[in-house]
A and B are shown apart, each in its own frame.
Chain A
């Protein structure tokens, strides 16, 4: 859901996943998991406040990069995030991503908030399109052991 906020627009998405917050935190941060549900990408970071953070395409290019602003495992992770491949979206500057993990019984409520870098943002349109399939695939992976087929491979031509 895209909500017009005062200033910069943001994309908010909530999903409920039958797992533990610890397992979900690991899935969001450890390359052997992210590769499986996130288009074969890997992330590199020490996941501490101030650490740098990078999302690498399968061919080794840096697709997105930023800094860890807050890391409170397994509850809350806040990153700055700039796209690095498309010059147009790179020029928009840094967006801000927040993952909030709330354990509710045997299920985790995951709330993702991606705040646009600018009031008009091609980048936000792009991630608004991408997050639902990535997070649906993450949910499938956690609950069934298999991600969705749609997120196995890096999209051709990107």
Chain B
């Protein structure tokens, strides 16, 4: 099978690091098993083909697609990377796909989890702010689920100016320039 290679060059823009009292295998499961993601990832079910080049989705509880993408790196239990296209919100699917990479490293009796969100274009800070406000809530929730068995109840809302900033770039499409 040919190795899946993204044609696009992605530059890391947002990095979030946390440490979790769990095994790498348990953190891997929390990232790739819908029974876990629905507890901490905005109620979405992950649906991933377990191979590099496979399909990746985050689905609403009714099965509709919120995020779609391709698995760029399937390396249990250390590295999971996939492209993301937001299909579930207005015209967000017009945005270029981004690349989300999780790295899982043993750190003593715990695990260091690093999430990197990378983009192929000069994305404005006001658009990046969406992920920058979401990831801490999502990954704090993941840590709570693994360490306490209980999800957090965090009210998630887009940061001020985010929706307008996204509409503006969708209208202007600066990545085509």
Contacts and interface: CB of A to CB of B under 8 A. Distances in A.
Given A143-B147, A144-B147, A150-B110, A133 B19 contact: yes
A106 B19 contact: no
A64 to B, nearest CB: 21
Contact of A149 (B17, B108, B141, B144): B108
B77 to A, nearest CB: 19
Interface in A1-41: 1, 13-18
A98 to B, nearest CB: 16
Nearest to B141: A16
Q: Is the interface of A mostly helix, strand, loop or mixed?
A: mixed
A104 B155 CA distance: 8
Contacts of A149: 21, 108-110
A148 B19 CA distance: 8
Interface stretch (B28-36, B64-72, B132-140): B132-140
B114 to A, nearest CB: 9
Contacts of B15: 1
B19 A15 contact: no
B154 A136 contact: no
Given A140-B21, A150-B19, A150-B110, A18 B132 contact: no
Interface string B50-85: 000000000000000000000000000000000000
Interface string B108-141: 1110100000000000000000001100110011
Contacts of A136: 18-20, 143
B152 interface: yes
Nearest to A105: B153
Given A1-B14, A106-B153, A139 B140 contact: yes
A107 B18 contact: no
12 contacts: A14-B133, A16-B137, A18-B144, A105-B153, A107-B152, A109-B154, A132-B17, A133-B19, A140-B147, A143-B144, A143-B148, A144-B148
